[in-house]
Amino acid sequence: MATDARRSGTKSADPHRLVAAAYYGGLLLLLALILTTLLDRVLPAELSSRIGFNSEGYLLALVLGLWIQFVRPRLTEAMRWRVTWAVAAGFLGLAVVLYLSDVPSRFKTLNETFFALTLILPYLTLHRPLRRWPLLVSAALFVGVVVGVAVSPADSPVVLLAETMAALILVPPAFDLVDRGILDPSTVTRAGLRYGWYALLIAVPVAVVLLGTGARSGGGFHEVLQYVGRVHEGVIGVLLVQLYLAVALGRTGRSPSQASPVAVGRDRQ
C-alpha cells in the first residue's frame, strides 16, 4: 500500500515536473542559441531576429521563476536577507560590468535585466501581504518615467534602461495585485483580473507596433510611444513567469468562492 501511495504521488507530480523542465529548459536553450548566434541556423532569419531581440525578457523570466519556485521557499528567516542581498549584489556587479564593457551587444544588453533583478529579488523576498504601498510606488515610478522620457535626451539613463524600468513598474502590480497567489497561496485572486492583465500586457505593445514608426516620431507623447515600443523585453519577462506559475502550475491562491466574506474584505484592503 505504501509503495502504491508513493507511486501515485510520483505520478501526480510528473505533470508539474514536465512543465517545469519544459519552461526552464526551453528558456535556457533559447538563451544559449541567442548568445551563440546559432538561433538563425534553427529558425528563419526574420523570425530569429524577432525572437532574438527579446533575450532580456527570457533571462528575466528564467531568474524570476527559479527564485520564486525554488529559492524563496527555502530561505529561512536567519538566512533570508543575507542570501537575497548577496545575490542582488552579484547581479548589480554583473550589470555594471556589462554596462561598461565592450562585449558584443547580445551580451551587453543583458545588463538591463541584471539591473532590474538587483531590486526585484529583494522585493519578492518581502513577506506578504504588502497592502497598497507597492502599487503606489509603481504608479509613482510610471509617472516619473513618462515625464522623464518626454523631457530627457535620448542618452539619459531613464531612456537607455527602458527594459529595466518596465520590469520595475510591472512587477508590483503583477505579484501584489493580479497574481498575489504566486507569492501568497492564502490570498484571494480573481480570474477575470488575471486574464484581463495578461491581455493588456499583450495588447499594448502590439498596438504600439501596429501604429507604426510615424506615430512614434517627434517629441512629447510620441517619445512615450517610442519608449513603450522598446520595453517588450520587460513585458515578456513578467508575462512569461506569470503564465508559468499561475496558469501552468496553478499558483492562483483562492478564488472568492473559496474564501469567507471577512477574508475577501481583508484582501481588498
**Phi, psi for residue 80 in degrees, rounded to 5:** -50, -55
Q: Rounded to whole angstroms, how far apart are CA atoms 63 and 24?
A: 9
- Identify the three-state secondary structure at position 254: strand
The DSSP result for 76-137, as a single string, is -TTTHHHHHHHHHHHHHHHHHHHHHS-S-HHHHTTHHHHHHHHHHHHHHHSPSP-TTHHHHH
**Phi, psi for residue 106 in degrees, rounded to 5:** -65, -25
pLDDT bin (cut points 50, 70, 90) of residue 1 is very low
Q: Rounded to whole angstroms, how far apart are CA atoms 199 and 12?
A: 31
Say which residue, 90 or 266, is predicted with more confidence. 90
pLDDT score recorded for residue 222? 62
Q: Rounded to whole angstroms, how far apart are CA atoms 177 and 144?
A: 21
pTM for this one? 0.87
pLDDT score recorded for residue 10? 46
Quote the DSSP letter at residue 37: T
Percent pLDDT > 90 in the chain is: 61
Quote the DSSP letter at residue 248: I
Is residue 265 predicted with pLDDT exceeding 60? no
Say which residue, 263 or 178, is predicted with more confidence. 178
Q: Rounded to whole angstroms, how far apart are CA atoms 58 and 177?
A: 23
Beta-bridge partner residues of 188: 254
Half-sphere exposure of 137 (CA within 13 A, CB side): 15
Over the stretch 4-39, which tens digit does the pLDDT of each residue have? 444 444 444 578 999 999 999 999 999 999 999 999
Beta-bridge partner residues of 254: 188
CA angle 121, 63, 33 (to 5 degrees): 150
Share the mean pLDDT of the chain.
87
Residue pair 24/65 in contact (Cβ under 8 Å)? The answer is yes
Over the stretch 76-114, which tens digit does the pLDDT of each residue have? 999 999 999 999 999 999 999 999 999 999 999 999 999
- Identify the three-state secondary structure at position 230: coil
First-to-last C-alpha distance (Å) of the chain = 47
231-249 exposure pattern, b = at least 16 Cβ within 10 A, e = fewer: bbbbbbbbbbbbbbbbeeb
Which of 63-67, 227-231, 250-254 bottoms out in mean pLDDT, i.e. has the lowest?
227-231
Say which residue, 1 or 207, is predicted with more confidence. 207
The DSSP result for 193-220, as a single string, is HHHHHHHHHHHHHHHHHHH-TGGG-SST
91 contacts: CB under 8 Å, gap ≥ 6: 114, 115, 117, 118, 121
* Average pLDDT of span 37-50: 90
Q: Rounded to whole angstroms, how far apart are CA atoms 123 and 224?
A: 27
What is the residue type of 264? V
Residue pair 101/108 in contact (Cβ under 8 Å)? The answer is yes
pLDDT score recorded for residue 7? 46
Percent pLDDT > 70 in the chain is: 86
Over the stretch 182-235, which tens digit does the pLDDT of each residue have? 999 999 999 999 999 999 999 988 887 777 665 555 655 666 677 777 788 999
